[in-house]
Structure 1
Amino acid sequence: MSDLLTRIQEIISWSALGPTAFADEIGVPRPVISHVLSGRNKPSLEVVQKILSRYTEIAPKWLLSGEGDMLTLLAEKDATSHVEDQPSDPINRNGIILGDVQKDGKVPELIVSSGESATSENENKKKVVKVILLYSDGSFESYDS
């Protein structure tokens, strides 16, 4: 089994999608991913490019050679410990904002309950007033509390 194949399988597992949904997500025909996963065909340059274009948080060097960390945020964090170099709004692979990074690099604790507030040790309680969901096709939904 190719090392590249192993890394693609790891990305599929990380994305929490099945092979067919993964193929749809990156924009390749379903049989292409099926043939790659079965070992019938090797991943093409097009497949690699589409993975990297859809999942920008995947480190290209890791996907191609296996060097470094899978996620670019982890690779950047290892390269430097400066909070300024990290995105101001950390977003997970599903587009959900995880919270604001404080000056000390910590993410405030979030209480996950309807109408509850997000808090940190040093701040007063904040009430959630709006939630915006951003989808990969460019559409969005907005919910006011």
Structure 2
Amino acid sequence: MERKAFLRSLGAGAAFALVFPCVQGCSSDSDGEPGQEVPTGIDFTVDLSGPDGLSLENNGDFIIRNDVVVARNLQGEFVAASRICSHEQNAGVSFVEIQGGIFECEVHGSRFDQNGAPLNSITQNPLKIFNTDLQGDLLRVFE
């Protein structure tokens, strides 16, 4: 049976079910585009007494500011890393509550420990980590 005949025999519903996930997964937006630059010159403050504080209230919570993932790790300490993955420079890194709390890129699955070291074989390049300093309700994130 030829491809066209096979697809016609499936019907429109089955063809849509097969094609739609690929179209969704293959769509591009600014967050998924490779080649973005890792942030440099980072030095900003997060006011934990404001809305950002509510978003960082619980262990495992994170926010994204200036292409930096700022997280309260599972031990309650603040950690920060580049949102731009070291694999192909996609803006897909977030903090996930697995393996004691790690940084993970949703684009290709790269995983990094809280010091930026790669945890799987997708990349050998470390993730850029930023310093944090908590003074009262002000959390400074800097290089």
Scaled by the length of structure 2, the TM-score of the pair is 0.26
Which structure's residues are more often helix, by fraction? Answer: 1
Question: Which structure exhibits the higher relative contact order, with contacts defined as CA atoms closer than 8 Å and separated by 6 or more residues?
Answer: 2
Which structure's residues are more often strand, by fraction? Answer: 2
Higher-Rg structure is: 2
Scaled by the length of structure 1, the TM-score of the pair is 0.26
